[in-house]
């Protein structure tokens, strides 16, 4: 297996824990264990009783029952819980693919969605979202990317890093295409339930049929990245069983306290999501004003969901801009180059409570250097 460094994670490792303002995080504002437990009477006492032995490899039945409530047709045995969505991506790619398979991957995107498939021996075709189309994917392009050895399409909506939420029409068309061509559809839904308008929420892919696998996590919409609880939901028994076998070689089972806390979180997920969407909506007003004030410095495609956007910097080299900003002003943005983007975009995180203060500092920086 040959895996190059995960550029985004390496960039975060450099700055995440020593920079005052994180203005590029993909996860929403988190909370303390005590705040989470306070959502449910008796939960704090129950946590004290959690047994610290090995847990069920699939994930605790109680947690899987809660996760099922995200879906229409999924039952607890269709859910495989992992340590974060990261582990689930890793195991899916090695379970689903073999050398010389061809995979079509939504791009730009979270690096492991393409890179782990490549490490499993696949040829990757990026399916490019374009800013001039509001970051939509073009279905004609999908048809052109198809080869005789294509095994899967990998999509991510709501999307990291653009905040793009696919239209229902396009989503249905991708499902139809995958089904007709007998492809797997791996649908990274880790930002699902963070739509600003709930009416725009897409159905989960796993509810469409056996060819689809949905990925979820507590980290993003619900703001609980430290739990490290992610999962796949699928009616595809072959993929499920293969992933379960591979999991014996990675983590075997999940952290018992985390599974209990995730169960509390999923039972209260609507409250958690609502809290975070409210933070995002308030932050969007602040950044709308920022971009209106500096139209010659940035492009701005407003996201429709999730905790990120991907504006373009028009004032020079984006890597230098992000470097100067983090070193001189203590604000971390993420240059699009970590996504292999060559068009000077950067990732802006919208889910943190201190965004208004970070943006004030950013304005001060921009006024000084211009
Ligand atoms: C699209 C996408 N998928 C998966 C993950 C992995 O989530 P986690 O770090 O919680 O495992 C991320 C994290 O940024 C992501 O943005």
Distance 86 CA to ligand 1 centre (A): 6
117-155 as b/e: b if 16+ CB within 10 A: bbbbebbbbebebebeeebbbeeeebeebbeeebbbbbb
Tens digit of pLDDT for each residue in 21-56?
999 999 999 999 999 999 999 999 999 999 999 999
What is the C-alpha separation between 19 and 5, in angstroms, rounded? 22
Residue nearest (by alpha carbon) to ligand 1 atom 2: 110
Query: pTM for this one?
Result: 0.97
Strand extents, DSSP E, the chain:
21-22, 79-83, 102-107, 123-128, 150-156, 184-188, 212-217, 229-234, 308-309, 331-332, 334-335, 346-349
Residue nearest (by alpha carbon) to ligand 1 atom 14: 26
Ligand 1 pocket residue status of 227, Cβ below 6 Å = no
Residue 123 has pLDDT above 90, yes or no: yes
What is the C-alpha separation between 168 and 298, in angstroms, rounded? 29
What is the C-alpha separation between 112 and 1, in angstroms, rounded? 14
Confidence of residue 368 (pLDDT cuts 50, 70, 90): confident
What is the C-alpha separation between 272 and 306, in angstroms, rounded? 14
Tens digit of pLDDT for each residue in 318-364?
999 999 999 999 999 999 999 999 899 999 999 999 999 999 999 99
Tens digit of pLDDT for each residue in 234-287?
999 999 999 999 999 999 999 999 999 999 999 999 999 999 999 999 999 999
Ligand 1 pocket residue status of 125, Cβ below 6 Å = no
Percent of the chain scoring above 70 in pLDDT: 100
Which atom of ligand 1 approaches the CA of 88 most closely? 11
Tens digit of pLDDT for each residue in 55-86?
999 999 999 999 999 999 999 999 999 999 99
Tens digit of pLDDT for each residue in 245-254?
999 999 999 9
Residue of 85, 117, 228 to mutate, ligand 1, most atoms within 8 A of C-beta: 85
Distance 321 CA to ligand 1 centre (A): 25
Which atom of ligand 1 approaches the CA of 156 most closely? 1
Ligand 1 pocket residue status of 156, Cβ below 6 Å = yes
Q: Which residues contact 190 (CB under 8 A, 6 or more apart)?
A: 85, 156, 160, 215, 216, 217, 219, 220, 221, 230
Distance 108 CA to ligand 1 centre (A): 14
156 versus 2: the higher-pLDDT residue is: 156
What's the chain's average pLDDT? 97
Q: Write down the pLDDT at residue 133.
A: 96
Distance 229 CA to ligand 1 centre (A): 11
Ligand 1 pocket residue status of 216, Cβ below 6 Å = no
Q: Which helix (H) or strand (E) holds 275?
A: helix 269-293
Ligand 1 pocket residue status of 230, Cβ below 6 Å = yes
Q: What are phi and psi of 131, to 5 degrees?
A: -60, -40
Distance 365 CA to ligand 1 centre (A): 30
Distance 188 CA to ligand 1 centre (A): 9
């Amino acid at each position: 297996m040959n895996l190059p460094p995960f550029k985004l994670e390496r960039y975060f490792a450099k700055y995440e824990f020593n920079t005052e303002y994180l203005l590029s995080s993909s996860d929403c504002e988190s909370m303390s264990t005590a705040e989470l437990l306070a959502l449910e009477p008796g939960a704090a006492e129950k946590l004290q009783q959690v047994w610290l032995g090995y847990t069920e490899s699939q994930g605790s039945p109680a947690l899987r029952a809660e996760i099922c409530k995200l879906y229409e047709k999924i039952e607890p045995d269709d859910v495989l819980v992992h340590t974060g969505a990261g582990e689930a991506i890793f195991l899916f790619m090695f379970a689903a693919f073999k050398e010389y398979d061809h995979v079509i991957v939504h791009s730009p995107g979270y690096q492991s969605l393409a890179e782990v498939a490549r490490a499993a021996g696949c040829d990757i075709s990026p399916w490019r979202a374009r800013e001039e189309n509001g970051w939509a994917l073009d279905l004609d392009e999908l048809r052109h990317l198809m080869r005789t050895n294509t095994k899967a399409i990998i999509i991510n909506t709501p999307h990291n890093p653009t905040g793009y939420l696919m239209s229902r029409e396009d989503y249905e068309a991708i499902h139809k295409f995958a089904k007709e061509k007998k492809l797997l559809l791996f649908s990274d839904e880790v930002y699902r339930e963070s739509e600003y308008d709930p009416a725009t929420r897409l159905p989960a892919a796993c509810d469409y049929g056996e060819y689809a696998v949905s990925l979820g996590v507590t980290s993003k919409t619900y703001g609980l990245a430290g739990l490290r609880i992610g999962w796949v939901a699928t009616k595809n028994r072959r993929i499920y069983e293969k992933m379960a076998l591979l999991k014996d070689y990675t983590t075997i089972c999940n952290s018992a306290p985390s599974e209990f806390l995730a169960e509390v979180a999923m039972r209260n997920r609507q409250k958690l999501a609502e809290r975070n969407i409210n933070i995002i909506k308030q932050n969007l007003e602040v950044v709308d004003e920022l971009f209106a004030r500096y139209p010659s410095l940035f492009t701005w495609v407003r996201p429709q969901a999730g905790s990120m956007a991907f504006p373009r910097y028009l004032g020079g080299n984006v890597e230098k801009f992000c470097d100067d900003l983090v070193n001189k002003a203590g604000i971390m943005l993420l240059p699009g180059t970590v996504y292999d983007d060559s068009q000077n975009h950067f990732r802006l995180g919208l889910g943190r409570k201190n965004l208004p203060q970070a943006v004030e500092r950013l304005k001060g920086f921009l006024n000084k250097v211009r």
